[in-house]
Amino acid sequence: SQQGEEDPQALSIQEGENATMNCSYKTSINNLQWYRQNSGRGLVHLILIRSNEREKHSGRLRVTLDTSKKSSSLLITASRAADTASYFCATARMDTGRRALTFGSGTRLQVQP
């Protein structure tokens, strides 16, 4: 089963607006990461937040993590048409020590120019 589930599955906004995507997961984690995938391309790492962190910023990206609720959110501020892509959360589990990531089902973001 998917470790992470993104919400919403699809999001359409106008350029300049903010986009918020949510991710829920099921097990204890070491860290949570967000990746972007443009159509027909590989995934690109955006940001990593560790289990002892609550919020992290990188440019126009803001990520929050609530380990008590097992959830995370990704906020993209002042969106641009170039932000159009699918966004995935990925978790690194703590219990097994595995380095592998478990990916959610993704949110498809469409930014209208």
Partner 1 sequence: DAGVIQSPRHEVTEMGQEVTLRCKPISGHDYLFWYRQTMMRGLELLIYFNNNVPIDDSGMPEDRFSAKMPNASFSTLKIQPSEPRDSAVYFCASSPESDTQYFGPGTRLTVL
Interface contacts to partner 1, rule CB under 8 A: 2, 30-31, 33, 35, 41-45, 48, 88, 92, 98-106
Q: Compare residues 69 and 99 and give the one whose CB is closer to partner 1.
A: 99
Q: Compare residues 50 and 54 and give the one whose CB is closer to partner 1.
A: 50
Q: Compare residues 18 and 27 and give the one whose CB is closer to partner 1.
A: 27
Nearest-5° Cα angle at 6, 5 to 9: 120
Give how far Cα 57 sits from Cα of 22, 65, 98, 105, 107, Å.
Answer: 16, 12, 26, 23, 20
